[in-house]
Amino acid sequence: MKSSQSRPSRVGRNPFVHELKFTMREKIKIGLMSVTVFPVRLLLVSFLMLLAWPFAFAASLGRSEFVLEPQSWWRRFIDVCLRVIMRAMWFCGGFHWIKVKGQQATPTEAPIITVAPHSSYFDAIPVTMTMCSIVTKLESRSIPIWGTLISYIRPVFVFRSDQDSRRKTVEEIKRRARSGGKWPQIMIFPEGTCTNRSGLILFKAGAFIPGLPVQPVVLRYPNKLDTVSWTWQGPGAFKILWLTLCQPHNPMEIEYLPVYTPSEEEKGNSALFANNVRKLMAKVLRLPLTDLSFDDRDISLSHGPLQIYNLCSLLEFNQLACRLGLRAESTHKFLDEQARRARKLQGDRLDLKEFAQFLNLPVTDTLTQVHSLFDKHGDGLIDIRHYIIALSTIYRPSKSMETLKLAFKMYESEEDGQVLEDDLASILEIMLGVEEVELSVLFLSLDGPDTGKITYDKLRHFIEQHPFFIQDYLDFKNHPRKSCFGKPLSCNGESHNKDV
């Protein structure tokens, strides 16, 4: 699968991975703090959170989630009490001095505040300091104690079980943002997930669809040892809490940037609006732009015997597939049905119109881009099996053997269940995201005569017996064995083989 170059391949360091390495001195310090300061801090933080609960509960009684009633004096008093209690809680957690730069705009000046980078649950600090509303999943309301505090700030709840959730969430954001300052400001983390702050990933469009002025806010944790980052691969929630509470002091900076008023073009193009704000924030933070999104996290963290070697083309395909809704409808049953239909074509290649008919979709620019990714020979025709293998890969990136088995169903001979060497090379090119796979080393290493064919069971057994299968038995363009330099890197800059 080739890249259309429609999406830059700037990926750099994997933003969804956070690894902590401690010196012996740091380990000793953490050990001493664990038996002295940590228990005291944890007790104080827990006490203050419990103290805040009855205030939030009382203020939330009888209040509608959709109608904004006048703020009575006693609710204003509770608001002040909660801000004081929550600031004391963060102080007891080691966030003694929080440096604030700039000034928060009023709701009429900027109804939406966009905050980045989002890297930790400690990013709740600016929320508790401002009592802005947030966008959060409905399940968070059920969290003991903390759920009541979340409900107090009148968040926009996302109903993930509702297929129409995204539209309803955007409509509610629009309704509040266009209230003329009657509703509290909405604080949104447009990245949509936590990263390690190595760069800004793609912003979701929700905060920018209303086309109203936003105030960008950037967060910094300038501590030497990063114990706050809570990503998809790295220390868990409690370990992050433990390590952070064991630090003598946890510095944090909050910088309010000038209000960003969108141009007429940006008002009509939320993606452009979001990207321009992202560029501005990245410049202030002096961070690179990372062309990954929340939807790419599983692909960038793939693991297994046939883990994705080069992410670039598959990431581009994933973005296009999400835009067309293809990934959302992908299930094991759906993929099996697609594979069954593809097998009936017996390798016949499809033009763009036939491809659209196969997917039951209209011909659009996005579909044309997807088709071009698989136009291997540049003749306007594609092998639909390549598309299905790629779709299965992005749907279940860490279950490569299931994708391999699906591919064999489309390619194998009815007589003996074997797949030709050239067909297997094409399968692996798609799954690994590489070019020009050559399998002579693999077939020479198999038991028995070299027939140029192999069954799924035989290949699966061989892969299970050889954990470094990609490095030792495959040859492809830019394979590390072709160079005398080091270990394989995917385009996200992370080594997939930690033992090499």
Write down the residue that tokens 């996290």 correspond to: 297
Token readout for 255 is: 């910088």
Cα–Cα distance for residue pair 250/246, rounded to 1 Å: 10
Give me the pLDDT at residue 66, please: 67
Delimit the domains of the chain by residue range. 24-291, 297-482
Residue by residue, DSSP assigns 272-303 as HHHHHHHHHHHHHHT--B----GGGHHHHT--
- Report the pLDDT value the prediction gives residue 495, as an integer from 0 to 100: 41
CA nearest 60: which of 179, 149, 132?
Answer: 149
CB 496 within 8 A of CB 310: no
Task: Determine whether 24 is exposed, middle or buried from the number of CB atoms within 10 Å of its CB (0-12, 13-18, 19+).
Answer: exposed
pTM to 2 decimal places: 0.83
Q: Are 149 and 201 in contact (CB under 8 A)?
A: no
> Please, which residues have CB within 8 angstroms of residue 360's CB and are 6 or more apart in sequence?
none
The Cα–Cα gap between 273 and 276 comes to: 5
Q: What would the two tokens of residue 80 be? A: 């002040």
| Radius of gyration of the CA atoms of the chain, in A | 26
Q: What pLDDT is stored for residue 480 in this prediction? A: 65
pLDDT by 10s per residue, the chain, length 500: 766 544 444 556 789 999 999 999 999 999 999 999 999 999 999 999 999 999 999 888 777 666 676 667 788 898 899 999 999 999 999 999 999 999 999 999 999 999 999 999 999 999 999 999 998 888 888 888 888 888 888 888 887 666 677 788 888 898 888 888 888 899 999 998 999 999 999 999 989 999 999 999 999 999 889 999 999 999 999 999 999 999 999 999 999 999 999 999 999 999 999 999 999 999 999 999 988 888 888 898 888 888 888 888 899 999 899 888 887 767 889 999 999 999 999 889 999 999 999 999 999 999 999 999 999 888 999 999 999 999 999 999 999 999 999 999 999 998 889 999 999 999 999 999 988 889 988 998 887 777 889 999 999 999 999 888 888 888 888 776 654 433 333 444 444 343 33
Specify the pairing of strand 418-420 against strand 112-116. Answer: unpaired
**CA 383 to chain CA mean position, Å:** 30
Structural element, H or E, at residue 80: helix 73-92
The two structure tokens encoding residue 338? 């697609």
Amino acid type, 77? F
- DSSP-assigned letter for residue 446: S
Rounded Cα–Cα distance for residues 82 and 59 (Å): 10
For the CA atoms of 423, 426, 427, 432, the dihedral, rounded to the nearest 10 degrees, stands at 150
CA distance 269 to 248: 46
Give the bridge partners for 256, in sequence order.
Answer: 217
| CA distance linking residue 442 with residue 469, whole number of Å | 9
Distance CA 405, CA 424 (A): 11
Q: Which of 424, 399, 246, 236 has the alpha carbon at shortest distance from 308?
A: 399
* Tokens of residue 131, six digits: 């009592």
Sequence-ordered list of residues with C-beta below 8 angstroms from that of 382, at least 6 positions apart, any chain: 349, 350, 355, 371, 374, 375, 376
Q: Are the beta carbons of 393 and 431 closer than 8 angstroms? A: yes
Are the CB atoms for 319 and 234 separated by under 8 Å? no
Residue 145's H or E segment, with its range, is none
